[in-house]
Structure 1
Amino acid sequence: MDKVLTNLLIALVVVLIIVIGVMAFACKDCCKRRESITIGYQAVGGIEENDDISIISRDDFVLLTETSCTSLVSRWIGLLHSGENERMPILVSYASAQAKPHQQLIWRNFVGLLLELPEHRNVLKSLGICYDDDLIYVVHPYKDIITLRSYLKREVRCIVSTNTRFTSLLTAAYDVVSGLEFLNANKCCHPGLCVVRILVDVYDTCKLYDFCKQEDAIDTLEQFNLNEDSDVRTSLPPESIFLGEYTSASDVWSIGVTLWEIFSYGVAAYPNVSLSEYEKRLRENERLQKPVGLPDELYEVVESCWTQTSSRRPTITSLVEKLRTVSSRILKQINDGRITINDHIPSDDTVTTQDFLYEIDIDDTTYHYRKTDGSVGSDANIYLKRAPTINQLTRYVSNHLQLPINTSLTFTQISITKDSFIQPRG
């Protein structure tokens, strides 16, 4: 009997030792995971862990297609699995495979900035970040979002009432300037600001998303090929083009160009103008002419942004106040019947691939991939489950949108089903 009790006690002790060992290992592993997250935060921004930031697992989202890739950042449209049968369209960004060490640091600074930045209605909210191997992903919501240019062409131009149409333009203009004021107050810049790099949500609210710390502005600007990217090129001030400088005063110049494009219903400021031609126009102090129907008082606000000497331009805060005051006065005069806006809906300018935006429809059987062009006003639904070739995609979209035969369209050849996804390049 004593021998049985002894063996039983020994067995209990062994079991207890095993349980304690398992618990200790689990605790140690948990601490390591928590430590890795904390280290990750410190690495990207030098800040402490933030309980308000969601850490998203790489297993919870899939990447569908790459929308843009520069030497600094790669952006993809994807889907986030937010529930058992729920999938949310998302915009995913991470440091490009081409990024040099100093650009990798800029990206980490940007991620750290997002972790610290308060929410603002005119800045695209981040759903969270993901650490996976050496990559740091930033995940934004992307449901019912289009570019500002597409919004101006596809939606605002279709508004019948002139006064309502003009009010929509003023709202978009104020959104952009208000967002820049917020970023400037938080020591941020937005190199390359233009209507194709501003998003609009389902509530017609403009969202800024591609900004940086002020000290990283010049290096951030280097990611753009100014010989090819006409929208970014023609939004830049003289000091950026000729001297390679970029400050908050440079943002003011870009705001002026963006406001001009807004009040022109999305028409490009300098279509088909080469870098050398744009440089020539800057040297000759040539400025964009007043859009048809725009009140003189409002154009003066826009034109004030283009002072050649950067130190003499208005501050972003004073620009916000001036725009608010002038807009309120004009709207009151419109409502009182004292003035009438005789604007002009421009004929469509050249259709380019930059006018297109990727959108995602979801049903029970397949993912759809839609490229939408505001100037044409048509949608092309491409069923990825069919795995079409590049030529088939080009022919399908060209026929559907009735684009000229020589229109340049670029697609990524992909095949997507519910059980497969594309890994990021690099």
Structure 2
Amino acid sequence: MVDLVLRSRRVVTAHGERPAAVAVEGGRIVGVDDYDHLHDARIDTDLGETALLPGLVDTHVHVNEPGRTDWEGFASATRAAAAGGVTVIVDMPLNSLPPTVDAEALAVKQEAARGQTHIDVGFWGGKIPGNTADLSGLHARGVFGFKAFLADSGVPEFPPVTGAELTAAMKSVDALFVVHAEDPEHLQPFGGSARYGDFLASRPAEAEHAAVATAIAAARESGGRVHILHLSAAGALPLIAAAKAEGVRVTAETCPHYLTLDAGEIADGATEFKCCPPIRDAANAGRLWQALADGLITCVVSDHSPCTPELKRRDTGDFAAAWGGIASVQLGLPVIWTAARARGYTLGDVTEWMARRPADLVGLPGKGRIMVGADADLVAFDADETFVVEPRRLHHKNPVTPYAGKKLQGVVRTTWLRGHAVTGSAPAGMFLTREGA
């Protein structure tokens, strides 16, 4: 007898979408059989035409606890993630206090998270000036790699590094380095304005191009792995393609807001749209979609970076004073599915970008896929249902989102973590560590 069988006419596996029965025992998938296959199961649920997806893996989430827990915390972030079909997040090392830049800080963060996580959580370490000696110890404790900024991070306790410092760090430890790629020399002075166009002009595409080149150079010289975070400027794609052809170990991600939002439609004063790098125009987004389809961009992740409503400065609409970040961990799946479906992509494409590839990026072969032996992290997704985003109904700690009022397609009905439905009442998430740690 198995613990659970989930049947659906639309089970999404690596081989496409088909009717199937997924059997679960001991938290793992033990069978992916024909839809009408007979199982002796304690629970047997037929989802009918509701699709069954693998749980999404979001490798770019700012939880902010401890230290800035009024912005977001582990309980609220993981509850929101589960409501959006996400079963794994990897938490960024900054915006929490202390930042995760040494083993002691990691222990502080894990203690803050303990007993609060509704889904599984992994952690990134941070590379800042002066902490290269701490990286090997932090890596040994299981972080999935190290985040570095090449420009101001927005918080003083996480300063940027130079290209030379990044190269030296990559030589010091065999780890994945994930880089916020904007070059400070190309950023323009921005004294304050409520015009989105002024903010966009202050962070031109050339800043990303130059920083991507710096990150690639560090990977080339060190022989290490570098991953370009939240790629916004499509003009950097030829640099990445050329480096990959050369054998440089470089990958890149993008985010739902860069794929679906259009700078030309952002109203002045609408600071909920502020993020760094910025949202660009629709033609740029089209090139990002093509790179995603071609595999040049590896995955789509949220860069969930929330704050309190006051810090968004909707009172003045001043883009210079507003915090830069978009809260979207709960909405990424329907946002991307709505746009992907309109462009002719399938649920299989979406789960490839948002589940399997991000799991592979951080070395989690048992996550992000429906196959025998994988964790039974699963999502019942009504791909044909629509809803209108109401911020007050989101599980994010603060109801601020640029998607407010948007009609989206696709509703998460149930999320299972290792075969157990996530209800938001009993946290059962685990800490994940890098394989071999």
TM range (shorter): under 0.3
Length-normalised TM-score, structure 2: 0.27
Structure with the higher strand share, 1 or 2 = 2
The answer to which structure, 1 or 2, has the higher relative contact order (CA under 8 A, 6+ apart) is 2
Flag the structure with higher helix content. Answer: 1
Give the TM-score normalised by structure 1. Answer: 0.27
Larger radius of gyration, structure 1 or 2? 1
